[in-house]
């Protein structure tokens, strides 16, 4: 029954908010914090996917299912978010669907390219590539997210409630340790986060280690919260300026 859970799993990270740090002790912290709040007032998060990273989406009727938090064996999400299903139709059409079955809330399968249908393993409901209900006990269609394709390689999917703000601030290191930068954000239960850094916007961000306490060793790479709560993560400031990002790690299942 769980054929799709046995697929090769791999992680992608998605950048949903960015905090800017310009350092060297200038009086910038308040200004920057205000800018960051303004940058990230929306609660909608945008998943940006490169088609080139997803072989399944490179042909018509390809499909991927992306988990933002874990999925339990009973096909219910272990966390706030259902996986997002992205289906490719003919002529560069794309559909982004909430995988929550409208019958009793199980997570439905990705699109089966051989039938061009989406199946719910719990009680057999069937949906079309665009989420329309076709058969079974489901009471309605799968809900759809707004999705945009740039005609080349980039897909953007708007996911309500996935966005979050980040506030960045300088903290002094203690006992001669390197000065640190603190990133505050609202962490959603069971979602995995990592921190990325780049010195300038034309560079690719790279993951960097952090600490969950002001003085602990900065050697963590993934942060997960057992409950939805405010989180503060601390990174060492090693360069005079740059961009820190709190990114969500997403798994294809």
Q: Which residues bind ligand FES (CB under 6 A)?
A: 101, 103-106, 120, 122-125, 136-138
- The closest of 250, 192, 241 to 220, measured between CA atoms, is 192
Judged by beta carbon, residue 37 or residue 123, the one nearer ligand FES is: 123
Judged by beta carbon, residue 84 or residue 101, the one nearer ligand FES is: 101
Residues making up the chain, counted from first to last: 253
Q: How far is CA 149 from the centre of its chain?
A: 18
- Residues 121/138, Cβ–Cβ less than 8 Å: no
Residue 1 CB, shortest distance to ligand FES, in Å, is 13
Residue 101 CB, shortest distance to ligand FES, in Å, is 3
Residue 250 CB, shortest distance to ligand FES, in Å, is 23
Q: How far is CA 116 from CA 61, 90, 97, 253, in A?
A: 7, 12, 15, 18
Judged by beta carbon, residue 38 or residue 73, the one nearer ligand FES is: 73
Residue 149 CB, shortest distance to ligand FES, in Å, is 29
Judged by beta carbon, residue 138 or residue 248, the one nearer ligand FES is: 138
């Amino acid at each position: 029954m769980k054929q799709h859970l046995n697929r090769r799993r791999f992680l992608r990270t998605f950048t949903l908010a960015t905090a800017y740090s310009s350092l060297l002790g200038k009086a910038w912290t308040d200004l920057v914090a205000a800018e960051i709040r303004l940058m990230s007032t929306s609660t909608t998060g945008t998943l940006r996917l490169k088609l080139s990273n997803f072989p399944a989406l490179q042909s018509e009727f390809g499909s991927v299912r992306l988990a933002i938090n874990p999925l339990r064996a009973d096909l219910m999400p272990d966390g706030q978010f259902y996986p997002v299903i992205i289906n490719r139709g003919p002529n560069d059409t794309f559909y982004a669907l909430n995988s929550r079955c409208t019958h009793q809330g199980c997570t439905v399968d990705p699109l089966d390219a051989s039938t061009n249908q989406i199946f719910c393993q719990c009680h057999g409901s069937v949906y079309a590539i665009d989420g329309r209900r076709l058969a079974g006990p489901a009471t309605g269609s799968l809900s759809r997210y707004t999705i945009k394709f740039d005609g080349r390689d980039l897909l953007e999917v708007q996911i309500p409630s996935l966005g979050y703000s980040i506030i960045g601030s300088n903290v002094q290191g203690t006992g001669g340790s390197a000065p640190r930068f603190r990133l505050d954000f609202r962490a959603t239960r069971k979602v995995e986060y990592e921190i990325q850094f780049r010195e300038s916007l034309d560079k690719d961000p790279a993951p960097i280690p952090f600490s969950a306490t002001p003085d602990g060793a900065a050697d963590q790479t993934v942060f997960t919260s057992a409950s939805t709560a405010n989180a503060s993560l601390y990174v060492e400031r090693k360069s005079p300026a740059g961009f820190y990002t709190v990114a969500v790690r997403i798994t294809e299942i």
